[in-house]
Amino acid sequence: MQRLATETCIVSLAYLSAFFATFEILMPLQNLFFAKSAHSASLLFLPHGVRVLTAWLLGWRAPLVLLPGVSFVFFYVAGWGALTPSRLAAIAIAVCIPTLCFQLLRLLGHDLRPAPGKPPCWPCIMAVGLMIAIATSLLTNYAFGSPPMDYAAYLIGDIGGLFFLMLILMVIFRRLRSYGL
């Protein structure tokens, strides 16, 4: 129980950090370069990376530990409107689809879960991230009744966000190594 609480705190903090970095830093920059963009979707949606890496590392516990962070973000953006059926569906999609995709692949014989002695495969994680992004974009935009343009924007944002988050983490780990940590 204590372990689940710790994981929930770490993942929620990571999710919120990724969300605020996306909306307070990256989106204003994006708006500078794409000022005439009609939609409000981020083209580098870092929280998708947190969802994918959490599902990869935690498996079935991921939906539970992602739920507080994802719910907070929906309440932050939409207020009590987060309780409308379409947004509740979007929350469920955001927390469940990553784990479901990893489990589906496992059932199909591609078990990507980390295990001692098993070399990691970052292109595989990126490929699953793409699969999760497609499923999430289709289901979320269907729930919202969004125009076709938003489907593509969500997809690009999710994939870009996953890759960019992994790059950021890679740089952070390299920095930590250089400090002997």
Partner 1 sequence: MSEISKLLELRKLLLDMEDSMGLQDLSTVERDIYYVANDHARSAGTVKTTTLQDHALLANVSRPTFFRALKSLQGKGYLEHCKDSVRGYYTVKTPAK
Q: Are 113 and 59 in contact (CB under 8 A)?
A: yes
Residue 99: CB minimum distance to partner 1, A: 15
CA distances from 89 to 39, 80, 136 (A): 21, 15, 11
Please, which of residues 44-73 interact with partner 1 by CB under 8 A?
Answer: 53, 57-58
What one-letter code names the amino acid at 130?
A: L
The helix/strand count (H/E) of the chain reads as 7, 0
What mask of x and - would describe binding to partner 1 in positions 5 to 24, judged by CB under 8 A?
-xx--x--------------
How far apart are alpha carbons 10 and 66 in whole angstroms? 10
Q: Determine the straight-line distance between the first and last CA of the chain, rounded to whole angstroms.
A: 29
Q: 4: part of which helix (H) or strand (E)?
A: helix 2-21
Minimum CB–partner distance for residue 33 and partner 1 (Å): 25
Tell whether residue 179 is a contact of partner 1 (CB under 8 A).
yes
Binding-site size for partner 1 (CB under 8 A) equals: 28
The pattern of x and - marking residues 107 through 146 that bind partner 1 according to CB under 8 A reads: -------x-xx-xxxxx-x---------------------
In the complex, minimum distance from the CB of residue 168 to partner 1, in angstroms, rounded to a whole number: 10
174 forms part of the interface with partner 1 (CB under 8 A): yes
Site for partner 1 contains 85 (CB under 8 A): no
Four-point Cα dihedral 128, 78, 164, 121, nearest 10: -20
Please give the residue ranges that form the binding site for partner 1 (CB under 8 A). 3, 6-7, 10, 53, 57-58, 114, 116-117, 119-123, 125, 166-167, 169-170, 173-174, 176-181
